[in-house]
Amino acid sequence: QKEVEQNSGPLSVPEGAIASLNCTYSDRGSQSFFWYRQYSGKSPELIMFIYSNGDKEDGRFTAQLNKASQYVSLLIRDSQPSDSATYLCAVRYNNNDMRFGAGTRLTVKP
Amino acid sequence: DADVTQTPRNRITKTGKRIMLECSQTKGHDRMYWYRQDPGLGLRLIYYSFDVKDINKGEISDGYSVSRQAQAKFSLSLESAIPNQTALYFCATSDRDRPIHGYTFGSGTRLTVV
């Protein structure tokens, strides 16, 4: 079973703080990992991808991957109210199958 | 114009009716997907197609069928709609040659079956 697990939240952080979102996956045959942001009633949009162990930074966002422990995380520095959304973790497997987690709802309070 | 266009945006239909959701894309991607999203369950794959002659079932294909009319068009049909098919439906595309670019999603179709 290819499972992708996320804490559904809601996760609430004050403006300017670091938001930490976590995701675990069950299948070691995973190739690449994605974070999507989804505003209420809108479609998911890709914000980060990572496929090597370690950290990948893009502006205020950092994705972290640990394949041995089968988890991937997303850090959002200097969180802004506009970051309030649901964040979906997605895992692509060797056969190109992509599975999504249920998402973590983040609220950034001014 | 949006890269991935879904029609209709919203639809209310009655139990037992046949309904088609349409998706078209201008990205030139070869791969297209249909997902449904339910609260607390995330995105679940219904069908996917890697090219015009390739159709594959996803994890929840029962009660649905698809047609890939052209590289740019992929439609989803509910042959006899039932209330538990009420959900938000997304079409997505991806490029075989750029897998790390992830998926591009359409704006979604909110379907209600009464």
The reply to whether A51 touches chain B by the CB within 8 Å rule is yes
User: Is B92 a residue whose pLDDT tops 80?
Assistant: yes
The reply to whether B102 touches chain A by the CB within 8 Å rule is yes
Give the integer Cα–Cα distance in Å for A14 and A108.
5
- Span A44-81, pLDDT tens digits: 999 999 988 999 999 999 999 999 999 999 999 999 99
DSSP for residue A18: P
The reply to whether B27 touches chain A by the CB within 8 Å rule is no
pLDDT, position A29: 77
What residues of B are in contact with residue A46 (Cβ under 8 Å)? 101-104
Looking at chain B, which runs of residues are DSSP E strands? 4-7, 10-13, 19-25, 31-38, 42-51, 54-57, 64-70, 73-78, 87-94, 104-105, 109-113
Output the average pLDDT for chain B: 93
**Higher-confidence position of A41 and B81:** B81
Closest CA in chain A for residue B103: A46
Distance from CA of A81 to the nearest CA of B (A): 22
Give the integer Cα–Cα distance in Å for A30 and B73.
29
Up-side HSE of residue B71: CA atoms within 13 Å toward CB?
Answer: 8
User: Is A39 a residue whose pLDDT tops 90?
Assistant: yes
The reply to whether B83 touches chain A by the CB within 8 Å rule is no
pLDDT, position B47: 96
Picking from B91, B108, B110, B109, the residue whose alpha carbon sits closest to that of residue B27 is: B91
Pick from A45, A96, A100: which is nearest to B43 by CB?
A: A100
CB contact under 8 A, B108 and A88: no
What residues of A are in contact with residue B43 (Cβ under 8 Å)? 44, 88, 100
What residues of A are in contact with residue B41 (Cβ under 8 Å)? 102
- Span B17-35, pLDDT tens digits: 999 999 999 999 999 999 9
pLDDT, position B13: 96
Distance from CA of A15 to the nearest CA of B (A): 26
Pick from B40, B99, B100: which is nearest to A102 by CB?
A: B40
